[in-house]
Amino acid sequence: MRVHVDGRPYCAVPAAALALAAVGTGTELTPERLDLLGGLADEEGAFRTLLRALERRAYARVDLGRRLARKGHRAEAVEAALDRAAGLGLLDDAAFARNFVETRAARGRGPARVARDLMAMGVERRHIDIAIAAHWPPDVDRSAMPRALAAKRARQLGGIPREAKRRRLVAYLARRGFSGADVREAVQEALAISS
């Protein structure tokens, strides 16, 4: 709802909050009510900023909270906007983690890199572990992706000395988030093919 004071636009607040503030047509706006309306307007502004951000892409709750704070919204308004979005089903860290793992794995990222990126976004470790386990089950061979990446990268490195190529391949795969055994096997195979 838009609130007008003396016939001029003052702020926009959620309709339910306006009713709770006991503000209506002809209500005298005391300094306390103005402060309350200002706080409600901040919450509405944070929520609208949140919606605009979610229109572009999905976010983890903590990451989106940081974004709203960087935009200048007060901490209380940010928390209220995040709670409101979660209540509407717009924020779900578990679903975000599953989607993030799927898309990043398709781009050649390994489980360690994906987990590190999700932790940096503030996703809880339990959501990360579940998403990674769903994409890379323990009983499935995980070595196909690092082997393909190592073979492609080895071709790109061309004719540099074998030891330098090995070091670069190991570093490349480690940055991508693959573990020691998978990296070792993939590099050995790639060096054997490129020799």
Alpha-carbon distance of 176 to 104, in angstroms, equals 10
**What does CATH list as the number for 93-135?**
1.10.10
| Residue 63: predicted pLDDT | 95
Alpha-carbon distance of 161 to 158, in angstroms, equals 9
Alpha-carbon distance of 165 to 158, in angstroms, equals 9
pLDDT in tens, 44-91: 889 999 999 999 999 999 999 999 999 999 999 999 999 999 999 999
> DSSP code of 11?
E
Single out the residue of 51, 52, 11, 57 nearest to residue 34, CA to CA.
Answer: 11
Q: Is 5 helix (H, G, I), strand (E, B) or coil?
A: strand
Single out the residue of 138, 94, 93, 135 nearest to residue 113, CA to CA.
Answer: 135
**Residue 2 reports pLDDT greater than 70:** no
| Residue 17: predicted pLDDT | 61
- pTM as predicted: 0.74
Q: Where are the domains of the chain?
A: 2-84, 93-135, 144-194
Is domain 2-84 given the CATH code 3.40.50.10190 in the classification?
no
